[in-house]
Structure 1
């Protein structure tokens, strides 16, 4: 329990840039909890960038998802970076994105990372994605090679959702053995209700992380098994492995699916017990 309580003192949350998100974060999330903001090819990057700037002005460390396939041109990228920097945003999470076709010259995260380097390294911190259980549409060998190449441009890794603690720890050890020393934040769902997941399944508010979850049917249906999903059970299995030199697992990153009130209430309850 002590390991879990300590881990819950230093978490980060992910939210979707929907109506009411800003108010929910302000009402329920302490300003010392970093926030990442998802994006979708349907809504584009604009709502993500706008929310990142607004939350930063409220005192949060807000990190927008920058999806390579949503960037139309170098000029578009330069404009987005300029708006973020003018708004005080100094961190970003770079992904390839899931648009069927690139909107411009950047087909994957590595290409966008190189373009950001060419713009003079505008962000103090850059996160990249990790996939402990692989990706439905990308070969594992290619994922490993991509992570090796992207690591030189990044400051940290955030994993996609994995319900198997042993798989996450084993993957992190393999990453470390390949010489990648970036800290890894473990992605797991927050206190998400079954009702919210039904709404997500119906296509409401889909973001990068939601689509990944829905694409992994073995993950999605974990929420509907007897007993359902409880964030504490998975977090307890992972907590003893945080800060291990062999894994570089640095903390928890909760995908809230905008259930920030429930997730933060759950976290505070456990902190109070500790």
Structure 2
């Protein structure tokens, strides 16, 4: 077993409708068509826009290319990532490791973002169904209930998809609809414009010892008062200042503090709040702020 850093990752993108372009990884493989048949484009240290292209290899050489690249990363130490090797040795080190298994090629273009939630017709005419995990989370018992319904409706597999979505299938069109209705009853997200998709929330109290507010419970209450939206503008609800669920800045952040719920505009959970409110009053205030923000955008 290679002594790799805990977060070293490899993405394998089959080139289908639901792209993995937005995800960052140490090694990215993406299936592309060529005159000789399907091939795999390999890139390093980033998402589709930022990764450094290594080249194109045949599918039957993919494992060797990835293993050679991982061996190169592991040789730099147990905390090394692909970006560290690139910074120190450049792309030439990876090309030498891949040897004659890969040839230089321009990276394939990014693909338009496709919505994962909903029905997806497959090549054979059957349907896959995408359902979202509410705030990226579901209880084991709820997942088991969904699996039982999906199986009864003909599903044979379940697979993870981008944006915290599960894909289930294959279904007939009618059975996909029946499974969607059941998923909605189990509190999964079944509509792309569901307000819960605008909210990022960690477990918060009492699930997390660091949580000072019940972040997910507050997020669920807040979602009931937000309108459906296509803009994806996130509201971050964090149980504490660590901001584990969304370390980056957000237009609006609610953070648990010893003084109550802190409100941060255009900052992260670590940013000093501009105001503090009692949890009982926070929903009304956030809805007011979100409404003003939307009015300003529409204007």
Task: Identify which of structures 1 and 2 has the higher relative contact order when contacts are C-alpha pairs closer than 8 Å and 6+ apart.
Answer: 1
Fold agreement, TM-score > 0.5: no
TM-score of the pair, normalised by structure 1: 0.25
More strand by share: 2
More helix by share: 1
